[in-house]
Amino acid sequence: MSFSLPRRLRFIRVEFAPSCGCLGSLVAVVTDFCRNVIEDADVIFAFRMAAFELTENVVKYCTGDRASLEISVNNTVQGAELVLMTQNEATPERLADADERLGAMEAAADPVEHFDHLVQESLNTPTESRLGLGRLRAEADLRVSHEIQGTSIVVQVRRRVLNMAFGDL
C-alpha cells in the first residue's frame, strides 16, 4: 500500500497592512511558531532574523495596502523543513531590481563571499543597505528563493530541520 505524507504539517498565514508598527508582532508570530516546533536555538534565531529582514523589505518596498506572511513546517522526501514566505506588490522597477539581485544571490556558490561583495556595494548606496537577504544565506545558513508573480514578489527562506517537536500534531 502506498500513501503520501501531508506536505504541510502546520502553518500560520498572516495578511497585514505593511507598516513599521507591525514588525514586532509579525516577528513574534514567526518566533513563537518556531519555538513550538523545534528546540534548536540557532534555527529559531535564524528564522527570527529572516522574519525581521523579510518583513522590513515588505514595509520598505510594498506598493499595495496588503501583504502576506506564512510560516510553515513542510514534509519533504528529505525530511522536515521550516519555510518562511512573504508576498507583496512592488513597482515594476523594484521587481526587476529584486529579480536580478536575488537571482545573483541564489546562484552564488559561496554565500559569504557574495555577502562581502554586497557589503562593498552598500558603501556606494547611502540610503539602502540591501544586505538583508544576503545575510540570511551567509550568516543563518538559510536557502533563499524568489518568484515574480505579475505585480508581486514571493520570497521564501527555508531550512531543513531535525528533531522536530510536533507537539499536538
Partner 1 sequence: MASKLERVKADGYTVEATVSSQRLTVLLNGTFDMTAASDLQHFFEGVRAEVLATTPSDLEIDVSSVYYLGSSCIKAFVSLTAALKDAHKRPNLKVITSAGLDWQDRTFAVLARLAPEMVTVERTT
Q: What are the residues binding partner 1 (CB under 8 A)?
A: 20, 23, 42, 45, 48-49, 52-53, 56, 59-60, 115-116, 119, 122-123, 129-132, 135, 138-140
What's the start-to-end Cα distance of the chain, in Å? 23
Of 23 and 148, which has the nearer Cβ to partner 1?
Answer: 23
Return d(Cα 117, Cα 12) in angstroms, integer.
35
CA contacts within 13 A on the Cβ side of 55? 28
Of 73 and 133, which has the nearer Cβ to partner 1?
Answer: 133
Of 10 and 117, which has the nearer Cβ to partner 1?
Answer: 117
Q: In 3-state terms, what secondary structure has residue 112? A: helix
Residue 116 identity (one-letter amino acid): D
Of 95 and 118, which has the nearer Cβ to partner 1?
Answer: 118
Q: At closest approach, how far in Å is the CB of 130 from partner 1?
A: 8
Q: At closest approach, how far in Å is the CB of 134 from partner 1?
A: 8
User: For residues 47 and 143, is the Cβ–Cβ distance under 8 A?
Assistant: no
Phi then psi dihedrals of residue 155, to 5 deg: -120, 130
Q: At closest approach, how far in Å is the CB of 60 from partner 1?
A: 7
Q: At closest approach, how far in Å is the CB of 112 from partner 1?
A: 8
Q: At closest approach, how far in Å is the CB of 20 from partner 1?
A: 5
Of 76 and 129, which has the nearer Cβ to partner 1?
Answer: 129
Q: Edge-to-edge strand order for the sheet containing 67-76?
A: 8-16, 67-76, 79-89, 152-160, 143-149
